[in-house]
Amino acid sequence: MMYILLDWFFTLLHLLIIGFNLFGWIWPSARKAHLIVVTLTLSCWLILGIWYGLGYCPITDWQWQIKERLGEVNLPNSFIKYYADMISGQDISSSFIDTVTGISFTLAVIITIYVNFIKRKRKKVN
């Protein structure tokens, strides 16, 4: 029962982080927190990725340990791929998922840089 609750917890945590990474820049009061969370995500993917593989997410690692204890096998490297496959009922290409994830995240990073630095600087000048 504890592993099932932990699995649900990590799923909810993943969904919150993904949603916040993609859309947290929208609310001016959340923009600094968004910048921090995006930076932490990128750091995990790139810096921890040096040792664990590009795109490494410690939350996925922990959740996969829970899922393995629940008897799941052959888990993909990506939480997003896992749920895209589950929701669609298809085996979606990992490279496609990684590309969509990378493009979406890159757009969110560009937007957060814009709203946190460029737009704010322009506002102070005017």
Q: Domain extents for the chain?
A: 1-125
pLDDT tens figures, 38-47: 999 999 999 9
CB of 17 closer than 8 Å to CB of 33: no
Q: What is the C-alpha separation between 14 and 34, in angstroms, rounded?
A: 15
**What's the half-sphere exposure (Cβ side, CA atoms, 13 Å) at 39?**
9
Q: Is 70 helix (H, G, I), strand (E, B) or coil?
A: coil
Q: Give, in degrees to the nearest 5, the angle at Cα 30 between 26 and 34.
A: 85
Below-50 pLDDT ranges, the chain: none
Give Cα separations from 56 to 1, 40, 77, 94, 107 (angstroms): 27, 12, 8, 14, 19
Number of other CB atoms surrounding residue 113 within 10 Å: 14
The pLDDT value given to residue 119: 78
- What span, in angstroms and rounded, lies between the C-alpha atoms of 65 and 88? 24
